[in-house]
């Protein structure tokens, strides 16, 4: 949705027409959520087709990111060369993914394994540093799990690829359900637009 869809009135609330226009497309989020769930389940099937689909998805993501960065260069006031370099590298990564999908997946899974190690350390240290706060311990088992999973996967291409595929598949499924829940919240808002316009219901 574009920012123009969220034009606000003088008192900071959206008009009824704007709310109806926004909530009228709630079903698109349902379709998108179902597609994400199907994609996640397909990836989790862990067959040749799912790995190829994951490689194509990664390649398309790299290409889209690179093109977006190059298109943004004209709107950046300084350090434009960083955006150019980032865009070119992303496009090259996307092309390499399409030409050598197997190698790309192994490289990405290896990066993910090291990322899990570093993130696990950061989460554990952060949890211990915030012991004065309520629920500080929640980040502790998460950090330990991330660190252990990264250690288990790093150095073994088969393990790191297994972790990568499963994390992507699980994320896609959860993201799909989140989109569906958001769609029905949007639909409910469409039946009662006064909740968003700031006016008392009739």
Span 80-104, average pLDDT = 89
Give me the torsion for CA of 62, 159, 115, 67, rounded to 10°: 0
Q: What is the pLDDT of residue 151?
A: 94
Task: Give alpha helix (H) positions in 9-100.
Answer: 16-23, 26-44, 48-72, 80-99
Residue 86, pLDDT above cutoff 70: yes
In the chain the first and final C-alpha atoms are separated, in Å, by: 29
Residues sharing a CB contact under 8 Å with residue 182, sequence separation 6 or more, in sequence order: 29
The residue to which tokens 């009135």 are assigned? 9
Q: Which of 41-50, 117-126, 191-200 has the highest mean pLDDT?
A: 117-126
Residues sharing a CB contact under 8 Å with residue 74, sequence separation 6 or more, in sequence order: none
Per-residue pLDDT band for 7 (boundaries 50, 70, 90) equals very low
Per-residue pLDDT band for 157 (boundaries 50, 70, 90) equals confident
Span 64-86, average pLDDT = 85
Q: At what angle do helices 101-129 and 157-191 cross, to 10 degrees?
A: 70
Residue 202 Cα distances to 26, 111, 150, 193, angstroms: 24, 56, 56, 11
Residue 57 Cα distances to 43, 134, 143, angstroms: 11, 40, 28
Q: Quick one: tokens of 117?
A: 């190690």
Span 101-121, average pLDDT = 90
Tell me: the pLDDT tens digits for 179-196?
A: 999 888 888 876 665 555
Task: Give the DSSP H or E segment for 149.
Answer: helix 139-153
């Amino acid at each position: 949705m574009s920012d123009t869809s969220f034009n606000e009135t003088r008192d900071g609330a959206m008009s009824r027409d704007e709310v109806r226009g926004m909530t009228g497309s709630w079903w698109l989020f349902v379709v998108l959520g179902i597609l994400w769930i199907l994609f996640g389940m397909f990836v989790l099937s862990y067959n040749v087709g799912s790995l190829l689909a994951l490689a194509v998805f990664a390649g398309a993501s790299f290409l889209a990111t690179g093109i977006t960065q190059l298109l943004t260069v004209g709107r950046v006031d300084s350090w434009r060369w960083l955006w150019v370099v980032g865009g070119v590298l992303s496009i090259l990564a996307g092309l390499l993914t399409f030409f050598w999908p197997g190698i790309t997946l192994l490289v990405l899974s290896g990066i993910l394994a090291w990322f899990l190690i570093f993130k696990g350390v950061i989460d554990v240290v952060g949890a211990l540093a915030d012991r004065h706060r309520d629920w500080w311990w929640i980040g502790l088992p998460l950090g330990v799990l991330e660190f252990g999973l990264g250690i288990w996967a790093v150095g073994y291409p088969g393990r790191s690829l297994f972790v990568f595929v499963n994390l992507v598949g699980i994320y896609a499924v959860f993201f799909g359900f989140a989109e569906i829940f958001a769609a029905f919240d949007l639909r409910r808002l469409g039946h009662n637009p006064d909740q968003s316009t700031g006016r008392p219901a009739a």
